[in-house]
Structure 1
Amino acid sequence: MSDDDDFRAAADGVYQALLARVGEGAPEHRLDATRRAVELLGDPQRAYPIIHITGTNGKTSTSRIAESILRAYGLRTGLLTSPHLVRFNERIVIDGVPISDEELVRNWEDVQPYLEIVDSELVEAGKAPLTFFEALTVLAFAAFADAPVDVAVIEVGMGGEWDSTNVGDGQVAVFTPISLDHTKALGDTVAAIARTKSGIIKPAADVVSSAQPSDALSELIAAAELTESTFAAQPEAFDVATTAVAVGGQLVSIRGRAATYDELFLPLYGDHQAQNAAVAVAAVETFLGRGTQPLNRDLLEEGFATATSPGRLQLIGIEPSILVDAAHNPAGAESLAQALGTYFDFDEITVVFGALGDKDVRGIVRALVPIANQFYVTQVRSDRALDYLELGDLVREETDEDATFVYADAEEALVAARDWAAEAPRRAVVVTGSIVLVGDAMAISEAGGWKAAS
């Protein structure tokens, strides 16, 4: 066995060790446990400035676009996103590349003894040990310090105030659109969710926000005032000026905080991605020059051109076309439906669909019905998944019996949908509803040689 194989096996072991902890669907509402762990490690999260990003939809894409722009400026970047699609290493990205197996294992060996110390202290105090995401946060902060990076773009796991990433102090706090999601953990109103998310705003920070519902905006403004932070929100401070469909993506013009940047090629589909790009530009303008210095046009073009957002309206198969999108709430599904109508010209679409039990599944389906000729409902590989038979019944209630088919196995559903699409031109398959399902579809496509050339 080669050294690469050894490190691959060891890296998979790291992921298994993390999976043995309480999962991401049941976060602890606390910071003290993560704070204790990073203190024992010498506070690696203080070794570099942080751009901290939260919201309900668009967090990952905004994070990736901002990181790409910063890297175009020659900065060595760290990027933490969740969840992963195919391999765990995708969550911790250093200078544009997922952390190597060797670096992952080495950093894990460094932090594991300290995690065990904190686990023991917590158990002795009658509290739960560090969760999966708390341990991941510690690992990522340590890996970024070890790299080392010049700046880290950190995506919140869930919420904000008590999310483990909040042990880091964001120089810039960024908010993508806020809507209802994770209501059991975050609250059942947009205002309550925004209040929790506003907890990432630190004293005298700079705040950048996308356009928000009025009740969310009020919460963010109040938090910024309380912390004596600056506040720049869309559309007053920045906005998307124009978008136009282009081959492989779109041409966008963005009115930034410091300048207007005309006709930039963005290799991502959907008006929502243009909005994410505008927030990313404002965030980088804020980080580099407090929103007063225009970005370099050539570097911004490079940052946009090299930006990727895997699993977000991504073409993973051709002849027939197979797309995946990580929409897992109604707002995300509405953006997906709109983008499919604007950027593609399919005659018929089958949606391969699976979902977790804590999602507004009926709302997602209703958003997709206008663009879907039929649904192939399947089981998501997660202990939080909604049973495929129950999901099938729910989808039938929103569509009809003849347009809904159920499959216990996701690969079987995907192959059947692909066979259907191959029977006629201008048919397509869209896989959505769950990030886990999207990741599995990407792996199946790769193994089957369906993937489109990049």
Structure 2
Amino acid sequence: MSRARSHLRAALFLAAASARGVTTQVAARRGLSAWPVPQEPSMEYQDAVRMLNTLQTNAGYLEQVKRQRGDPQTQLEAMELYLARSGLQVEDLDRLNIIHVTGTKGKGSTCAFTECILRSYGLKTGFFSSPHLVQVRERIRINGQPISPELFTKYFWHLYHRLEETKVDLAVVEVGIGGAYDCTNIIRKPVVCGVSSLGIDHTSLLGDTVEKIAWQKGGIFKQGVPAFTVLQPEGPLAVLRDRAQQISCPLYLCPMLEALEEGGPPLTLGLEGEHQRSNAALALQLAHCWLQRQDHHGAGEPKASRPGLLWQLPLAPVFQPTSHMRLGLRNTEWPGRTQVLRRGPLTWYLDGAHTASSVQACVRWFRQALQGRERPSGGPEVRVLLFNATGDRDPAALLKLLQPCQFDYAVFCPNLTEVSSTGNAETGFHHVGQADLELLTSDQQNFTVTLDQVLLRCLEHQQHWNHLDEEQASPDLWSAPSPEPGGSTSLLLAPHPPHTCSASSLVFSCISHALQWISQGRDPIFQSPSPPKGLLTHPVAHSGAGVLREAAAIHVLVTGSLHLVGGVLKLLEPALSQ
């Protein structure tokens, strides 16, 4: 079996196993095979994606599995069985040059930096990451580009077919959730491992303290394989150190990026935000280590300063970044992470932050970006928050962190690009049935979460926001007006007259409707149809629409969920869906 065949089939296997958080343990309990029976060659890309998405589970089911599964090691054993059934063996993965990266926040950005650095050396790179923003093909990249729909479809249904031209020199693989029992941890012989910044996330699966989470992340360490991490709080760093010592894994602490910049020009990063410097520092060490272990010339000359010890961990070497490394850092693109789109009077700030620490970093980035802008003349500036949070995260805590941004409007919607909705007077908000999702692409469908549930969650987010604004009057979330007889339904789910809250907040049934109201037709690329009847009767929507139409500048921060950011990008950047 060629390396090319091994790599692509392994990547597709990991994509299926990790799609939307699914575990093979779950698939086994549901009686699902690792792969669908190969279909006729006429099967379309969307058919393959829909089949992938049938393996999804919601958070409640994952929690049930967690309680019942006993020894989590059985999950990795099941992964090996499914791998074998796909025609691969774990030994096939051993022959790949893999850089394995985990962490709570920044692991995707670290992977993006690392891949771009090594690609700048002329190496052919593979990149596996999750989740995707717009299309599932984003999870598998060759030389920075998602594989084509044709290749994805072909090799999803026919994994055994040979594809020599996809051979890569190395693969950068991002962990999905955790590390120890993540499906990517069937990788036994990576070249080097990395752990980005740690924080609290996925507590129902990984534990409710950062130390417990650190134990899970350290599960990717392998005997004799060097690993690198960035500066962490003392508690979780001690856990990582102990995990590494138990299996004789050499673990190093990355010096700050400033140490590598001494004696040379400052490093320019393709990703904005101060927190990206930590990810870049880790990426440089991973790339440097990989190049050295491959006896590659031009790995970077060591500097005179000698490594020391910090928190009982040796410091990684300080070296002079090469021109290739500088080029890679500067050219790195990672959509949806501290991304800025400037469109006429609108500036969209996109960041998929969804933990307390990552939202704090997002707020710092957003506020710094506003401070450095040119102030427009001829009208006011308006700040808008577009937010959603999913899973077991605490939306009230995240929203509280966002308050210093001083938004004029807070907008909430599910992670659904478009829906066709019908009014439901009994519940007081628009019920959207599963059959009404013709406009929702299958890459973004979730078959196990009902539309009622996600809409209710958005209403709860709105209530949290209004409470944070110290408004005494409790809004009535169930008083949305019924649609006009024979007319279109309103975009809005719950009205908030001005006298009920000090800040203007709105809930929309989907991302498209939210963007319609925010942009007011002023985005030169996102041009939506006329708003449905009933929208202009909503006091906040009506008055806000006038403000947005007259504003000299509109700054929109989209955050709280990578899937929300992905849906926004799908509409603002149509080329991403092609």
Structure 1's 255 and 321: CA in aligned 2 closer, same or farther, altered over 3 A?
A: same
Answering whether residue 174 of structure 2 is matched by residue 158 of structure 1, we say no
- Supply the distance in 1 between the matched residues of 2:412 and 2:165 (Cα, whole angstroms): 44
- Supply the distance in 2 between the matched residues of 1:414 and 1:212 (Cα, whole angstroms): 38
Partner of 1:12: 46
Q: Among residues 26, 38, 41, which one is paired with 2:88 in the alignment?
A: 41
Are the equivalent residues in 2 in contact too, given 1:351–1:372 (CA < 8 A)? Answer: no
1:308 Cα deviation after fit: 0.4
Partner of 1:379: 414
SS of the aligned residue for 2:573 comes to helix
Partner of 1:389: 459
- Supply the distance in 2 between the matched residues of 1:7 and 1:96 (Cα, whole angstroms): 27
1:379 Cα deviation after fit: 2.1
Range with bigger deviation, 391-400 or 342-351? 342-351
1:218 Cα deviation after fit: 0.6
Are the equivalent residues in 1 in contact too, given 2:260–2:321 (CA < 8 A)? Answer: no
Structure 1's 337 and 293: CA in aligned 2 closer, same or farther, altered over 3 A?
A: closer
1:143 Cα deviation after fit: 9.7
Are the equivalent residues in 2 in contact too, given 1:7–1:101 (CA < 8 A)? Answer: no
Q: Among residues 401, 426, 432, which one is paired with 1:367 in the alignment?
A: 401
1:146 Cα deviation after fit: 7.6
1:231 Cα deviation after fit: 1.4
TM-score in terms of structure 2 length: 0.64
SS of the aligned residue for 1:390 comes to helix
Answering whether residue 240 of structure 2 is matched by residue 220 of structure 1, we say yes
Range with bigger deviation, 291-300 or 337-346? 291-300
Are the equivalent residues in 2 in contact too, given 1:392–1:405 (CA < 8 A)? Answer: yes
The one-character-per-residue Cα deviations of 1:183-202 (angstroms, maximum 9, x if unpaired) are 00000011001001110001
Partner of 2:502: 402
- Supply the distance in 2 between the matched residues of 1:33 and 1:46 (Cα, whole angstroms): 18
Amino acid at match of 2:260: R
Partner of 1:81: 129
Amino acid at match of 1:355: A
Gaps of 5+ in 2: 1-39, 67-71, 294-315, 374-380, 417-445, 472-500, 521-546
The one-character-per-residue Cα deviations of 1:283-331 (angstroms, maximum 9, x if unpaired) are 1112222666946622112212221010012123412112211011111
Partner of 2:267: 264
Range with bigger deviation, 217-226 or 427-436? 427-436
Partner of 1:239: 256
Range with bigger deviation, 335-344 or 86-95? 335-344
- Supply the distance in 2 between the matched residues of 1:279 and 1:103 (Cα, whole angstroms): 32
The one-character-per-residue Cα deviations of 1:143-196 (angstroms, maximum 9, x if unpaired) are 999822211111000000000000013221111111111000000011001001
Structure 1's 287 and 144: CA in aligned 2 closer, same or farther, altered over 3 A?
A: farther
Answering whether residue 403 of structure 2 is matched by residue 355 of structure 1, we say no
Rg bigger for which structure? Answer: 2
- Supply the distance in 2 between the matched residues of 1:225 and 1:53 (Cα, whole angstroms): 19
1:216 Cα deviation after fit: 0.8
Partner of 2:145: 97
TM-score in terms of structure 1 length: 0.81
Structure 1's 106 and 416: CA in aligned 2 closer, same or farther, altered over 3 A?
A: same
- Supply the distance in 1 between the matched residues of 2:186 and 2:242 (Cα, whole angstroms): 21
- Supply the distance in 2 between the matched residues of 1:426 and 1:218 (Cα, whole angstroms): 47
Partner of 2:118: 70
Partner of 1:118: none
The one-character-per-residue Cα deviations of 1:320-375 (angstroms, maximum 9, x if unpaired) are 11221101111111111101122333654210111114112112111111003131
1:268 Cα deviation after fit: 1.6
Structure 1's 266 and 7: CA in aligned 2 closer, same or farther, altered over 3 A?
A: farther
Partner of 1:332: 358
- Supply the distance in 2 between the matched residues of 1:171 and 1:144 (Cα, whole angstroms): 24
Matches within 5 A, 1:19-38: 19-23=53-57, 26=62, 29=72, 30-38=75-83
Q: Give the % identical residues.
A: 29
SS of the aligned residue for 2:112 comes to helix
Partner of 1:120: none
Amino acid at match of 1:38: L
Partner of 2:516: 415
Range with bigger deviation, 382-391 or 426-435? 382-391
SS of the aligned residue for 1:154 comes to strand
Partner of 1:312: 337
SS of the aligned residue for 1:31 comes to helix
SS of the aligned residue for 2:275 comes to helix
Answering whether residue 317 of structure 2 is matched by residue 297 of structure 1, we say no
Amino acid at match of 2:183: S
Q: Among residues 195, 198, 201, which one is paired with 1:175 in the alignment?
A: 195
Are the equivalent residues in 2 in contact too, given 1:285–1:293 (CA < 8 A)? Answer: no
SS of the aligned residue for 1:264 comes to coil
Amino acid at match of 2:567: D
More strand, by proportion: 1
Are the equivalent residues in 2 in contact too, given 1:322–1:429 (CA < 8 A)? Answer: yes
Partner of 2:24: none
Alpha carbon RMSD of aligned pairs, Å? 2.7
Partner of 1:195: 215
- Supply the distance in 1 between the matched residues of 2:401 and 2:163 (Cα, whole angstroms): 39
Structure 1's 210 and 145: CA in aligned 2 closer, same or farther, altered over 3 A?
A: farther
Amino acid at match of 1:263: P
1:411 Cα deviation after fit: 1.7
The one-character-per-residue Cα deviations of 1:208-234 (angstroms, maximum 9, x if unpaired) are 001111111011101111121211114
Range with bigger deviation, 100-109 or 418-427? 418-427
SS of the aligned residue for 2:191 comes to strand
